[in-house]
Structure formats: C-alpha cells, structure tokens
Amino acid sequence: MSRKRNYAMVIDTKVCVGCSACVYACKAENNVPEGFCRDWIEEKTEGHFPELTMTIRSNRCQHCEVAPCVTYCPTGSSHYGRDGTVQIDRDWCTGCKACLAACPYDARYIHPKGYADKCSFCQHRLKQGLEPACVTTCPTSALNLVDLNSNDGVFGQLIEGREVLKDKVHAGTRPKLFWLH
C-alpha cells in the first residue's frame, strides 16, 4: 500500500519573471480551449516613479483542504482526490456554476462542452510519475510541486528563511499554494 500523498505547490515570486510559459504549457498539455486558461500570471506594481515595487506570480487552483467548490457542488462532481488535490468528474458535472460562485480564487471556468474545468495539477501526469506541465516547463524553476505528507524535506528546504504567503486564508479554505517572497 502506498502512502497517501498530499500535493501542494510552492511558488517562488522572487525568481518568477511572469513569462507565461506555464500558461502555454498548461493549455497545450490539457487542451484548454481558446479564450480560457487553467493558470495565469498576476502582476502588481505599487508606488510611484521612481520608487516602485512589483510582484509577479503564477496562479491557479489552490487545491484547498476545505474547498468551497466541493462543499457547494450539488452533484458530487467536484471532489477531493486521494492525493490531496481537488478534481472534477466531468460525467457528473451539469455546468451549474455553483463552484464558480463558491471559489474565492476565481480558479474555474465553464468549458464550452458544458462542464466546469480548472487546474488538476495535471493529475494524469502525476499518475505517470511526471510533474505538472507548468512545473516542468518553468524556465525560472519558480514552480515546485511538493507532497506535504512526504518526509523528503523538500517543502522545508524550499520555505526555509523565506516569507511565505497564502491567499485569502481568512476564507477558511486552507489553500495549498505557497508563495515565497
């Protein structure tokens, strides 16, 4: 019996240049239709010339431990995967958009074929022992997939000495994207 995994992502904003390679890689890997995306780049500039700061980050589904999309899905289509991810069973999805309304992170969209869609951490690749397409392609290695249940120490090494931010913690969702600053 293999140990139960709990996947999360650690994203280093210090090295991310916002190039969008993650977005293109995801779209090709997951056949995301034109006009939609499962991951995206956020860029925020503060201050006035010439005293400026800018934060760039790659964003996507947070794979929350307490996921409102799962809570509010009326059909059970949105569900927790065995590996700590949040997944969508397309066969059960009616496209009712309850999950879109529930998600505090705006991580979902309705696929033209009628079902809700979002980042799956490339679950099909995880099953093959591969990392998500965005992680693999990232030229700056800003994206890191980690298993929070693992004892390999990778998560600890990544966050050691760094300021770690999580998004909308107040929503009580226990999100699993960790941004390093």
Partner 1 sequence: MAQVNRRQFLKISSAFLASSAAAGMGWPLISQSSDAQEVLGPDRIVPTTCEICFWRCGVDAYVRDEKVYKLAGHQHHPLSNGKLCPRGNGGHGLLYDPNRLKHPLIREVINGKEQFRKASWEEAISLIAERFQQITDQYGTESIVMFSHGFGASFFKKLFSAYGIHTFSAPSYAQCRGPRSEAFKLTFGHSIGSPEGLDIANSKYLVLLGSHLGENMHNTVVQDFSTALSRGCEVVVVDPRFSVAASKAKYWLPIKPGTDVALLRAWIHILLKEKIYDVDFIEQNAVGLDELWDGVKYATPERTYALTGVPVDQIVQVARDLGRYGSSALIHPGRHVTWYGDDTQRERAIAILNALVGNYRMPGGIIKQEKFTPIQATLNQKKFKPYKGDFPVTRNAGHTFQSKYPFASKIPANEIVNRTISADPYPIKSWFVYGTNLIQSLGDQPGTLEALRKLDFMVAVDVLPAEITGYADVVLPECTYLERYDDLDNRSYRTPYVAIRQPAVSPLYDSKPGHEIARLLSRKMGLSDLFKDEIETYLDKQLKPMGSSLDELKKAGVLKVGETKLYRQPGEVLRFKTPSGKIELASQRLEAAGFDAVPQYQPPPENPPGYFRLLYGRAPMHTFGRTANNRVLGELMPENELWVNQIAGNDMKLKHGEYVYLVNQDGVKSQTKIKIKLTQRIRPDAVYMVHGFGHTDPRLEFAYQRGVNSSDMITSLSIDPIMGGTGMNNNFVTFTRS
In the complex, the residues that contact partner 1 under the rule CB under 8 A are 12, 14-15, 17-21, 23-25, 27-31, 33-37, 40-50, 52-56, 59, 90, 105-107, 113, 122, 124, 133, 136-142, 165, 167-168, 181
The CB-of-14 to partner 1 minimum distance in angstroms stands at 6
Closer Cβ to partner 1, 78 or 120, answer by number: 120
Residues 6+ apart with CB under 8 A from 52: 45, 46
Q: How far is the CB of 69 from partner 1 (least distance, A)?
A: 15
- Nearest Cα to Cα of residue 123 among 45, 7, 2, 11: 7
Query: Nearest approach, Cβ of 37 to partner 1 (angstroms)?
Result: 6
Report in angstroms how near the CB of residue 22 gets to partner 1 at its nearest: 9
Contact assessment for residue 49 and residue 30, using Cβ atoms and an 8 Å cutoff: no
Burial class (CB in 10 A: 0-12, 13-18, 19+), 146: buried
- Is 162:181 a contact under the CB 8 Å cutoff? yes
* For partner 1, the closer CB: 33 or 156: 33
